Each structure stands twice: as C-alpha cells, then as structure tokens.
Structure 1
Amino acid sequence: MSTSGPAAAPVSCGFDLDLTLVDTRGRILASAVAAFAELGVEVSEEHVVPYLGVPLTVLAGGLAPAADPTAFVDRYRHHYSLKHLAPCSPMPGARTALLAVRAAGHRVVVVSAKLHRFVREALVGADLDDLVDAIHGELFAADKGPALAREHAWAYLGDHPGDVVAATAAGALAIGVATGAHDGAALRAAGAGVVLEDLHAFPDWYADRNGP
C-alpha cells in the first residue's frame, strides 16, 4: 500500500504578451489609429503610446470619451486582424527566456488582455508557440490573478504596472521588464520585486533563482 501523498502541482512561470514576449507595438498603434479614424476621431500613434498595455475600453475612454467604446473595440479588432499590418516578431531574448523556464522543468503560461485567438496568432507569428503550455486571454491587472493562481505560477513577468498588480493578486513574484511604455523606475514604484531591462538578463536570473 502506497503511503505517498498526491503529486505536487507543476510549477509555472507566467508571462504577459504585448511588448513582453512579442513586439506588437506597430500593429497595435496602426489598428488603434485606424479604428479611431472610422469613428471620426483623429489621433496620432504618439497619443496611443501611453495606453499600450491597457484594455481597449480604457484606451477608447482616454482618447475619445464621447465615442462608443464597443464600436471602437469592434473596429480595432477588425484592423488588428488584417494581414497587411506589421507582423508580430519576438521581443529580444524572448525565446531564450522561455527555454530557461522549460530547462528548469517549469511550465510556461501566457496571460494577456488580448483575445485568446490573437494571443495564439501572435505567438505563432513570433515562433514561440511551441514553448507555451497554456494561454489565458481577455484579462488585465488583478483579473489575471486567478488564472495565474490556477496555473501555480510562482512568478509573473510583464512590462506594465498592471502586470505587477496581476502577480500580486496571484501571490506570485512580480517581475517587471522595461521593454514597454514604462521604465524600470515606474515598475519598481508599482511594486515589482525584480526589474529587468530586457529579457536577455532573464535566463541567468531564472537559473540562479530556479523557482519559489
């Protein structure tokens, strides 16, 4: 008769998508400008940059409070799906970062505010999908917490202060990476326990830390 207890749940490390693993900046900016234009609102890409990483309804409310946010989201997603827009490429060091997690025997989980299908398409386009074990979409900030907790994520890495909130909500270590619209100081101020300038520094850090 076996006296061993239940097997421990597999440990995972969570990652944000946009400007953390995949460079979607050009596609996001072009899609937002085009969607606003269809609603009769003239904005430039520079106006959109401070909103990188937030839900589309927040972007719409910030730049066009009189516009219908549902209509904006619909038109944005239409433009984002067009094939002629900028392709999604991996952020520098993304593949080696995911390989470092796999080398530690941990799972890779991507949790994003994007639609699930857009997350999958971005990972495929960036040639990272083979290293990802699970995807959760349409979640932002604290709403990411339950998904990360269910995946037993001991850490969550992202470029936005909302990702720090997500990690905290999951009881995970918040790792900020200064590759988006927020610098290291802003990520530290948000409460990140670790801040990296980019993903190139991640594999050595992960190998040294190697889990909770």
Structure 2
Amino acid sequence: MRLVVFDVDGTLVDSQGLILTAMDSAFAGAGLAPLPREQVLSIVGLSLPVAVAHLLPGALPDQQDRVVEGYKTAYAAARAAQAAPLYPGVAACLDRLAARDDLLLAVATGKSRRGLDAVIATHGWQGRFISLQTADGHPSKPHPSMLHAAMSDAGVGPADAVMIGDTSFDMQMAGNAGMAGFGVAWGYHTRDALIQTGAARIFDDFASLTQAIEEWSA
C-alpha cells in the first residue's frame, strides 16, 4: 500500500478569501492595522497561534491571543456565509485515487479539527481519508508529527508515502518525516520557495498531479 497525504488550504481548497477577511477582522478587533495580503498568506499552513506569532513578533502575548481568538470567530462566520471553493480538478483527483485499492488517502493540515470537519462535510468527503491530522493534536508544521501519525494509521513507512502541499512548511514537514514532497503551484507559496525547501516535483494542475501520483505508486 502507498499513502498520499494532502494539505488543505491552498492545496485542495482556495480559502484565501476567508483567511484574509478573518485576519483583517482579527487585527481590527485588536486595534491593529491590517497587514499586506502577501504577508498574511505567507503563514498559511502554520498552526494559528504560531502563525499569529510570526505576524506579530513584537506583540505582547495577550495581544496575540486577542488576534487568535478574533480570527477563530471571524473565520467561522465567514465560512458559514460562504464556503471556500475547491481548486479545479480536486474532486476528479480524489475520486480517481480513492478508487484504487493500492492507495490510501490522508490529510495533514494546520486547520483545527472543527475547521477540517466543516470542509469534509461541505464537500461530502466523509470516509474518504484514512487519517485526519490537524493542528489540534500536533506541533505546528514543519514538525513531522502529523505525518508520523498518518503513516502509523495507514501502516506504511516513509518510502511508501508522499506529502502534497502548496507551502514550504509542507515540503519541510515531508523532509523531516523522511518522505517525498510534491508541491503544487496554485497555492500560497512561490515555486522557488517550494524548490528551496525540498519539493521533489512541482505541478501546475490536478491532472498532471494525479498522473504523477499514479506513476509514483505503480
């Protein structure tokens, strides 16, 4: 068996609109000016408290906590109003891979379990993934804890697993776990950042990614 682990935000789901709206609201609620779009998107994939600490390195802990809590509230409200869309080709990719009896699918995301559950419910992915690893139970990416847990759930080793993600944190996490990392170019970090952090390959669409996964698992 082979294991394919997917990131969520920026890889399967284009949630940048929700993320930017929620972060602007959280900063405003803490009496802070909004940050540039590129700076906010640069921390996508990190666990929320770690992400906020990166954005506000000089802030006092209570101010960082206010931003964290404000973000959670604003994101939940924005998500309830309109779900983030899937990237083109996601559904076909997951359907094709799930139909194979030699592949297992998993998720490793900086989202909370509540946030991941909402995405799964929205898109009807219940039972699609053998392992669901979130920021609630692990250190932030790029620590390999989430990938270690996913491999344990699937009963495979690093040589039989691959991480699919859009950020340098995903590629670093894969390397730290001893597995390959496939980068996707449609997310929130640049192609150069993915290359510099160890991406084995980088893909421009889900059709080419799906083909590469099938070739890797053959």
| TM-score by shorter chain over 0.5 | yes
Two-structure CA RMSD over aligned residues (Å) = 2.1
The residue type equivalent to 1:71 in the other structure is R
Q: Residue 104 of structure 1: CA displacement?
A: 3.1
| Pairing 1:148–2:150 present | yes
Identity %: 23
Between stretches 159-168 and 47-56, larger displacement belongs to 47-56
Q: Distance in 1 between matches of 2:205 and 2:44?
A: 17
Aligned to 1:96: 92
| TM alignment of 1:8-23, pairs within 5 A | 10-23=1-14
- Contact preservation (8 Å) 1:88, 1:126: no
- Contact preservation (8 Å) 1:29, 1:45: no
Q: Distance in 2 between matches of 1:185 and 1:44?
A: 23
Q: Residue 188 of structure 1: CA displacement?
A: 1.1
- Contact preservation (8 Å) 1:178, 1:195: yes
TM-score between the two structures when normalised by the length of structure 1: 0.85
TM-score between the two structures when normalised by the length of structure 2: 0.83
For residue 182 of structure 2, the aligned residue among 175, 180, 187 is 175
Aligned to 2:121: 124
> Partner of 1:179: helix, strand, or coil?
coil
Between stretches 94-103 and 124-133, larger displacement belongs to 124-133
Q: Distance in 2 between matches of 1:130 and 1:91?
A: 20
Aligned to 2:72: 77
- Contact preservation (8 Å) 1:149, 1:171: no
For residue 24 of structure 2, the aligned residue among 33, 44, 61 is 33
Q: Distance in 1 between matches of 2:122 and 2:116?
A: 10
Larger radius of gyration: 1
Deviations 1:63-99 (A, max 9, x none): 3332522222111111111155441211121112222
Q: Residue 146 and residue 130 in structure 1: after superposition, are their counterparts in 2 closer, same or farther (change >3 A)?
A: closer
| 4+ residue runs over 6 A deviation | none
User: Gaps spanning 5+ residues in structure 1: where?
Assistant: 1-9
User: Gaps spanning 5+ residues in structure 2: where?
Assistant: none
Q: Distance in 2 between matches of 1:101 and 1:157?
A: 13
